[in-house]
């Protein structure tokens, strides 16, 4: 072979070697925290992703983009949805964060006062599609205590299992940052129960006319009985503090019994005085006057004499319905013996005595006048 041809061949081989060296690259690929080093002849980031079968969705990110340099590090983050709570309202957001710590730091910077809400799986385990921290520790706040977990590079459910925290059916789990910036897992005990309370229902008082009782007297013939009102509320408490109450029923489960009061309508008799000069003549009307007419003279007579207008005490000193002494009887205008006078006259003169001297004339039975 002529020397010129050998030289040309040598140049072609040399150029091919240079082209091969330029095409070959060693790059680092980080996909959601899984890092590999690989050799590639791709000329762009998209080419490497295609070779690895990595498809990007709308919420995924990749950096850098475009042409590929030897020694480059390609970072791929797939988007995922998480539920966040802010100001008592929950919403679903997309994030490419790998850990709860990172998600809180990213989202809280935009929103403030935010926490991540762990959903519950069919088995009751709290699920958060993120580890808590990347090689850090976390705190668990539960039942009024703070528990430490030295390794936060795990899922929420694993942390609670390690600490022996059992969740009730309605308990909630959320992840937040403490004031010091540490990741906290907050377990809230939620209880919903039906609570029954009772209260009294007042009874009414009704009056009935009673012709067998004197005007101005009353008697309770049917005692009033309070009713019962029963209220059933569905009460929600979070960590022992009531947060909601809904009334399920409010009924009178025992009706009250009305009080019935008998009111006397019978007109009291008016005593008559004997005719002048004769103790046996029929007496004319006697008006006692004063406030005595409204008192219970029947009750006083029943106490003093058993209601017998002709009775005389064993010692012979006291007579009739109200057990007058002869001197007292005469002092209020009576003639003869009190026990010989009519019941109406005895009552009229007893009223005169009350208006003059009060109920103290009957030390034992006098209070019956006010019954």
pLDDT in tens, 339-352: 999 999 999 999 99
pLDDT at 12 over 50: no
pLDDT band at 289 (very low <50, low <70, confident <90, very high): low
Please check whether residues 51 and 85 belong to one and the same domain.
no
Please check whether residues 98 and 153 belong to one and the same domain.
yes
pLDDT at 19 over 60: no
Q: Which domain holds residue 213?
A: 193-263
CA dist 33 and 54 (Å) reads: 14
Please check whether residues 86 and 167 belong to one and the same domain.
yes
pLDDT at 281 over 50: no
Distance of alpha carbon 173 from the chain centroid: 23
Number of domain units in the chain: 4
Please check whether residues 162 and 211 belong to one and the same domain.
no
Please check whether residues 21 and 55 belong to one and the same domain.
yes
Cβ atoms 72, 46 nearer than 8 A: no
pLDDT at 125 over 50: yes
Q: What is the model's pLDDT at position 124? A: 82
pLDDT at 10 over 90: no
Match 């209070």 to its residue by tokens: 367
pLDDT band at 291 (very low <50, low <70, confident <90, very high): confident
Please check whether residues 84 and 72 belong to one and the same domain.
no
Q: What is the model's pLDDT at position 32? A: 82
**% of the chain exceeding 70 in pLDDT:** 87
Global pTM value:
0.57
Please check whether residues 284 and 350 belong to one and the same domain.
yes
pLDDT at 9 over 60: no
Q: What is the model's pLDDT at position 31? A: 92
pLDDT band at 309 (very low <50, low <70, confident <90, very high): very high
């Amino acid at each position: 072979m002529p020397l010129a041809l050998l030289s040309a061949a040598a140049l072609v081989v040399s150029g091919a070697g240079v082209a091969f060296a330029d095409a070959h690259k060693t790059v680092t690929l980080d996909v959601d925290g899984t890092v590999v080093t690989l050799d590639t002849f791709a000329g762009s980031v998209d080419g490497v992703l295609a070779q690895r079968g990595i498809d990007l969705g709308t919420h995924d990110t990749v950096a850098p983009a475009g042409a590929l340099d030897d020694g480059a590090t390609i970072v791929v983050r797939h988007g995922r949805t998480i539920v966040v709570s802010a100001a008592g309202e929950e919403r679903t957001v997309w994030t490419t964060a790998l850990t709860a710590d990172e998600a809180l730091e990213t989202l809280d910077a935009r929103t403030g006062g935010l926490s991540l809400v762990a959903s519950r799986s069919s088995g009751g385990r709290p699920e958060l599609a993120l580890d808590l921290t990347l090689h850090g520790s976390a705190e668990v706040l539960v039942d009024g205590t703070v528990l430490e977990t030295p390794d936060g590079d795990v899922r929420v459910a694993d942390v609670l299992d390690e600490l022996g925290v059992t969740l009730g059916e309605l308990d909630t789990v959320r992840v937040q940052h403490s004031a010091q910036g540490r990741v906290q897992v907050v377990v809230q005990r939620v209880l919903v129960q039906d609570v029954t309370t009772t209260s009294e229902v007042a009874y009414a008082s009704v009056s009935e006319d009673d012709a067998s009782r004197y005007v101005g007297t009353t008697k309770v013939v049917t005692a009033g009985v309070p009713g019962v009102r029963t209220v059933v509320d569905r009460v929600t408490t979070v960590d022992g503090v009531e947060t909601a109450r809904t009334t399920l029923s409010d009924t009178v489960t025992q009706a009250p019994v009305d009080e019935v009061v008998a009111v006397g309508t019978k007109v009291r008799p008016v005593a008559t005085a004997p005719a002048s000069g004769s103790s046996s003549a029929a007496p004319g009307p006697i008006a006692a006057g004063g406030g005595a007419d409204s008192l219970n003279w029947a009750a006083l007579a029943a106490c003093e004499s058993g209601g017998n207008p002709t009775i005389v005490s064993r010692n012979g000193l006291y007579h009739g319905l109200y057990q007058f002494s002869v001197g007292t009887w005469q002092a209020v205008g009576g003639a003869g013996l009190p026990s010989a006078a009519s019941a109406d006259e005895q009552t009229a003169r007893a009223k005169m005595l009350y208006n003059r001297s009060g109920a103290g004339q009957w030390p034992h039975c006098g209070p019956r006048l006010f019954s």
